[in-house]
Amino acid sequence: MNQVKPVIVVHGGAKTISEDKLEANHAGCRAAVEAGWKILRSGGSAAAAVEAAIQVLESDQTFNAGFGSTMNSEGEVEDDAAMMDGATLDWGAVAAVQGVRHPISVARKIMEDKPRFLVAESGERFALEHGLEVCDKDDLVSEEQYQEWKEEANVLDRPNTVGCVALDSSGNLAAGTSTGGTTGQSQGRVGDSALVGAGLYADNQLGACSTTGDGESIIPVVLAKTAIDALAEETHPDQAAQHAINTLKARVKGEAGCILLDSQGRIGWAYNSDNMAVAYMTEALQQPAVFTQKE
């Protein structure tokens, strides 16, 4: 059996990216891809690559995940994250957790421990009990997000969910998402990111998908699964991703985007927002390809 050529794709959210934030989005997505690619290149698993890539985005205040997450109605950061393994269909998710440095790592540990969905204090307790990095909840608040929340600013460069999909050299796929939700959201509100089928999906037989955008629009059209199901017709991932976005636009109002990898390692993405930060890496490239608009 020939070794599969690994591929990794990340997104930093479907949104409007202002001119002064272009380079930060490029740099952050590039760094995330490089972290995941280092693992894939050394024979590591797709799940490990997805975790490593999203950890970088969760550490970068440019993106709405981990440090730099948007703040809810009470001035708190509540994060959601999930991961899915395409080989086993195992998954793990957390929502409305506070003081967790890398929610994606908690989601992966849950996936490997016992697939389930843990919210708020139960997710925080799981992280603590399994030696995952926790912090004071205020440590996740960036100065920029605090000022925007305090002033109730109408922000052009509205941050959004981050995500990653990867294919490893064993032919296994994984998908992950992480988010701080929406600015001023009700305490305890949960969007699509932690929901299998809506915010992410992975199946070795078809592909892997991570979505971004308005959760209340993504959930009713189960956007990730809609994109994955389109791959069943042997559709190219670009067409499948566009089909999913077209489905959302036809049925509900809202902005969204998705990245998609099929079992052959072909890449696709689509969005209906002004911009979408995306980067990917394959063996055919000397360095990551990075975009804030699709050419």
d(CA 126, CA 106): 8
d(CA 136, CA 134): 7
70 belongs to the catalytic site = no
Q: In a 3-state reduction of DSSP, which class is residue 271?
A: strand
Pairing assessment for the beta strands 117-119 and 275-282 based on DSSP bridges: unpaired
**Candidates 62, 70, 161, 177; catalytic one:** 161
- The answer to whether 75 and 177 have CB atoms below 8 angstroms apart is no
Q: Which two tokens stand for residue 37?
A: 């690619």
- Structure-token pair, residue 73: 């109605």
Q: Which two tokens stand for residue 7?
A: 């591929």
Q: What contacts 24+ positions apart, CB below 8 Å, involve 31-34? A: 31/56, 31/60, 32/56, 32/57, 32/162, 32/164, 32/279, 33/8, 33/9, 33/279, 33/280, 33/281, 33/288, 33/290, 34/281, 34/288
Distance between CA 265 and CA 166 in Å, rounded?
A: 9
From CA 95, how far away is CA 124, in angstroms rounded? 10
Q: What are phi and psi of 31, to 5 degrees?
A: -65, -40
> What letter represents residue 30's amino acid?
R
- What are the catalytic residues? 161
